[in-house]
Amino acid sequence: MNTPMENPEQKKKKGSKLFPIIFAGIVVAGIVFGVFKYIHGLHYEETEDAQLETNISPVIPKASGYITKIFVDDNKHVKQGDTLVILEDTDYKIRVEQAEAAFENAKANLEVVKSGASASVANVSTSQANIATVQANIEAAKVDLWQATQDYNRYSNLIKDHSITQQQFDKVQATKEAAEKKLAVLQSQKSVAAKQKVVSQSNSDVSTNNIAVAEANVKMRQAELELAQLQLSYTVVTAPISGTISQKHVEVGQLVQAGQSLFAIVEDSNIWVVANFKETQMAKIQPGQEVEVEVDAVPGTTFVGKVQSIAAATGAKFSLLPPDNATGNFVKVVQRIPVKIVLNDGQEQQSKLRAGMNVLVEVSLD
């Protein structure tokens, strides 16, 4: 049985009755949504201008050379201290051998200088002993001369009285003259010994200074050896942190320079969020507040963390060309403040997080 068709007027009347109902439903839904967002906004601040961050450490050699071995590839996980690259080390080994030879030569020269200094000190002692001996002989010679002079004076009186023979007088006179010459010789020896002492003391002082120079040379050669050994150790490039290899730019046989970036290591054990809130949202945000994080790459999972710190300046101030409102027409632009958020450890699917991923952040203000 066919249903009778509605005429246009009936359709118009029916539509006019449904419109107020639909419009009222939309208005009610809008009011409910607005109230919900208002109440939600009193307790939470959220932003989609947020990304995951982590430490990215460049692998930079401290020595130049040709690469002989590479032990890693892109996206390979490494531990801190693992060997990544080995450079050609022949030149560095030769420098170490040269430094070792120079160091041994410096130590041998120091021993020679010390031996010479010991001999100089011994010469000074010998010169002092010689001076003391000569001085003692001089004192004895003075006594002998005094005795010979006394005998000579007595015999001079006796020879005038013819109480002694000429032979006896000549003998006494000869003894006196011998004593005088002996004293003169000893005094001359003392002068020579004194000069020798001065020379020996000067040589000793020079030897002492030479010891200081030789010791300084030993320290310098030792430092050169340690530097050569250190530069040799730089031919083995190790991982500065634990993480995943990224952006590998080198191959075996390539010449690399000290300071050249070989690749990067992305630390995967410490990931945090940098959320850029508008300055109008910052009134109630404080360190320690609870945060919920939703990651676009991990749908259906909410990560929990807390606000760790708030940047001391807006993001624009750290840009390459920061704005300067004093040099042009001022237009008020809402600035954003970077906020660092750390995630709680041990959360499910946290291993899927990668630096640079976009996230939605919601900070609880209660």
Domains of the chain: 58-89+235-256 (2.40.50.100), 91-233 (1.10.287.620)
User: Is the predicted pLDDT of residue 348 greater than 70, yes or no?
Assistant: yes
Q: Looking at 72-86, 206-220, 256-270, 299-313, which range is the least confident one?
A: 206-220
Local confidence band at 202 (pLDDT 50, 70, 90 cut-offs):
low
3-state helix, strand, coil in the chain (%, to 5): 50, 20, 25
* Mean pLDDT in residue range 101-116: 85
Local confidence band at 37 (pLDDT 50, 70, 90 cut-offs):
low
DSSP assigned state of 293: E
User: Is the predicted pLDDT of residue 55 greater than 60, yes or no?
Assistant: yes
Q: Which helix (H) or strand (E) holds 53?
A: strand 50-59
Q: How many CB atoms lie within 10 A of CB 321?
A: 6
How confident is the model at residue 17, as a pLDDT? 62
Residues of the chain with pLDDT > 70, as a percent, come to 81
Question: Which has more confidence, 358 or 14?
Answer: 358
How confident is the model at residue 1, as a pLDDT? 42
Q: How many CB atoms lie within 10 A of CB 92?
A: 19
User: Is the predicted pLDDT of residue 264 greater than 90, yes or no?
Assistant: yes
Residues of the chain with pLDDT > 90, as a percent, come to 43
Question: Which has more confidence, 334 or 18?
Answer: 334
How confident is the model at residue 167, as a pLDDT? 77
Q: How far apart are CA 78 and CA 72, in angstroms?
A: 8
CA distances from 258 to 60, 61, 76, 87, 129 (A): 7, 5, 24, 11, 64
User: Is the predicted pLDDT of residue 353 greater than 80, yes or no?
Assistant: yes
DSSP assigned state of 250: -
User: Is the predicted pLDDT of residue 179 greater than 50, yes or no?
Assistant: yes
Q: Cβ(52)–Cβ(273) under 8 Å?
A: yes
Local confidence band at 26 (pLDDT 50, 70, 90 cut-offs):
confident
pLDDT, averaged across the chain: 82
Local confidence band at 233 (pLDDT 50, 70, 90 cut-offs):
very high
Residue 141 burial by Cβ neighbours in a 10 Å radius (0-12, 13-18, 19+): buried
* Mean pLDDT in residue range 191-202: 67
* Mean pLDDT in residue range 176-197: 73
Select from 308, 325, 241, 236 the least CA-distant residue to 274: 308
Local confidence band at 117 (pLDDT 50, 70, 90 cut-offs):
low
How confident is the model at residue 272, as a pLDDT? 94
Question: Which has more confidence, 105 or 175?
Answer: 105
Q: Looking at 163-172, 283-292, 354-363, which range is the least confident one?
A: 163-172
The SS3 assignment for 228 reads helix
Q: Looking at 70-74, 94-98, 157-161, 248-252, which range is the least confident one?
A: 157-161
